[in-house]
Amino acid sequence: MPFGLVFHKAVLWHNAEQRVFNNLIEIRKDQETLRWGLRCSMRDGFELEIQFDGSGAGMHRLPYVKTDCRGSLEVLNNSLAKATLCLKPRGGSVEKLETATGAVVEMGGHP
């Protein structure tokens, strides 16, 4: 994005309801092991925490050419990553969704 702006946005369909999260906060980011954690909450008290682990089989590094063509940028990718999603509605119990493989995580830029 221009002017150094960075944003994260997630859209989740859960129980036939769309939830848009605009206030994601990084709680963990390790580019060497391709692990990433995010947390956020909504005004109605609904909380979300996401953990990605791309350190296993399938992790690879790719050089991407910068958009201004002045060099390249290393990007780490794993399409066989693990992911855990914890959902907690206000006053409700935590619902945990997990996949041991098949989540896609990609990171680029500087650590």
Domain residue spans of the chain: 26-108
User: Residue 20 has what pLDDT?
Assistant: 87
pLDDT tens string, the chain, 111 residues long: the values are 456 666 677 888 888 989 888 888 999 999 889 999 999 988 888 899 999 999 988 999 989 888 888 998 889 999 999 999 999 988 889 999 999 988 999 988 655
| pLDDT per residue as tens digits for the range 82-108 | 999 999 988 889 999 999 988 999 988
User: Residue 7 has what pLDDT?
Assistant: 67
Cβ partners under 8 Å of residue 1, min gap 6: 7
- Could you give the CA distance from residue 111 to residue 11 in angstroms, rounded to a whole number? 25
* Phi, psi torsion values for 3, nearest 5 degrees: 65, 20
Q: How distant is the alpha carbon of residue 62 from its chain centre? A: 19
Task: Tell whether pTM > 0.85.
Answer: no
User: Residue 79 has what pLDDT?
Assistant: 92
Question: What Cα–Cα distance (Å) separates residue 18 from each residue in 11, 29, 51, 106?
Answer: 7, 26, 20, 24
